[in-house]
Structure 1
Amino acid sequence: MAGHSKYANIQHRKGGQDKKRAQAFTKIAREIQAAVRLGGPDPNANPRLYRAMASGRAINMPKDNIQRAVDKGGGAGAESLDEIRYEGFGPGGIGVIVECLTDNKNRTAGEVRAAFTKHGGNLGETNSVSNAWKRVGEIRYPLSVGSEDAMLEAAIEAGCDDCAVEDESHVVVCEMNALAGAAQQLSKKFGDAASAKFVWRTDIAIPIEGDSAESLLKLIDQLDDLDDVQDVYSNEDISDEELARLSA
Structure 2
Amino acid sequence: MAGHSKWANIQHRKGRQDAKKAKFFTKAAKDIILAAKAGGGNPEDNSALRLAIQKAKQVNLPKDRIENAIKKGTGEIAGGDINEVVYEGYAPGGVAMLIEAATDNKNRTVAEIRHLLTKHGGNMGEAGSVAWMFNKKGVITFKKESYSEDDLMEVGLEAGAEDIIDEGEMLSVHCAPSEYVAVQQAFDEAGMTYESSEMQQVPENLVPVDKETGQKVVKLMDFIEDNDDVQNIYVNADFPDDLMEGME
How does the TM-score come out when normalised to structure 1? 0.85
AA partner of residue 32 (structure 1): I
Question: How far, CA to CA, are the matches of 1:180 and 1:200 in structure 2?
Answer: 17
Higher helix share: 1
Matched with 1:17 is 19
Change (3 A) 1:191 1:46: farther
Question: How far, CA to CA, are the matches of 1:167 and 1:56 in structure 2?
Answer: 27
Matched, 1:153 2:145: no
AA partner of residue 7 (structure 1): I
Matched with 2:94 is 93
Q: Name which of structure 1's ranges 218-227 and 145-154 shifts more when overlaid on structure 2.
A: 145-154
Change (3 A) 1:190 1:60: farther
AA partner of residue 43 (structure 2): P
The alpha-carbon deviation at position 212 of structure 1 amounts to 2.6
Q: Name which of structure 1's ranges 210-219 and 86-95 shifts more when overlaid on structure 2.
A: 210-219
Residues 142, 172 of structure 2: 8 Å contact kept: yes
Residues 137, 179 of structure 1: 8 Å contact kept: yes
Q: Name which of structure 1's ranges 124-133 and 183-192 shifts more when overlaid on structure 2.
A: 183-192
Kindly indicate whether structure 1 or structure 2 has the higher relative contact order, using CA contacts under 8 Å at least 6 residues apart.
1
Question: How far, CA to CA, are the matches of 2:145 and 2:104 in structure 1?
Answer: 38
AA partner of residue 61 (structure 1): L
Residues 6, 241 of structure 2: 8 Å contact kept: no
Question: How far, CA to CA, are the matches of 1:127 and 1:139 in structure 2?
Answer: 27
Question: How far, CA to CA, are the matches of 1:184 and 1:36 in structure 2?
Answer: 21
The alpha-carbon deviation at position 195 of structure 1 amounts to 4.6
Question: How far, CA to CA, are the matches of 2:57 and 2:39 in structure 1?
Answer: 20
Matched with 1:51 is 51
- 1:156-215 per-residue CA deviation (whole Å, 9 max, x = no partner) reads 121110123537544221112222332333332347865544321124222223543332
AA partner of residue 165 (structure 2): A
Contiguous gaps of at least 5 residues in structure 1: none
How does the TM-score come out when normalised to structure 2? 0.85
Residues 136, 200 of structure 2: 8 Å contact kept: yes
Contiguous gaps of at least 5 residues in structure 2: none
Matched with 1:119 is 120
Matched with 1:64 is 64
Matched with 1:30 is 30
Map 1:175-194 → 2, pairs under 5 A: 175-190=176-191
Question: How far, CA to CA, are the matches of 2:82 and 2:162 in structure 1?
Answer: 32
Question: How far, CA to CA, are the matches of 1:115 and 1:97 in structure 2?
Answer: 14
Residues 55, 195 of structure 1: 8 Å contact kept: no
Matched with 1:8 is 11
Residues 81, 102 of structure 1: 8 Å contact kept: yes
SS at match of 1:41: coil
Question: How far, CA to CA, are the matches of 2:42 and 2:195 in structure 1?
Answer: 21
AA partner of residue 103 (structure 1): D
Residues 138, 174 of structure 2: 8 Å contact kept: yes
Matched with 2:234 is 233
The alpha-carbon deviation at position 122 of structure 1 amounts to 0.4
SS at match of 1:241: coil
AA partner of residue 54 (structure 1): Q
Question: How far, CA to CA, are the matches of 2:194 and 2:54 in structure 1?
Answer: 7
Map 1:212-227 → 2, pairs under 5 A: 212-227=213-228
Percent identity, aligned pairs only, is 32
> How many aligned residue pairs are there?
244
AA partner of residue 91 (structure 2): G
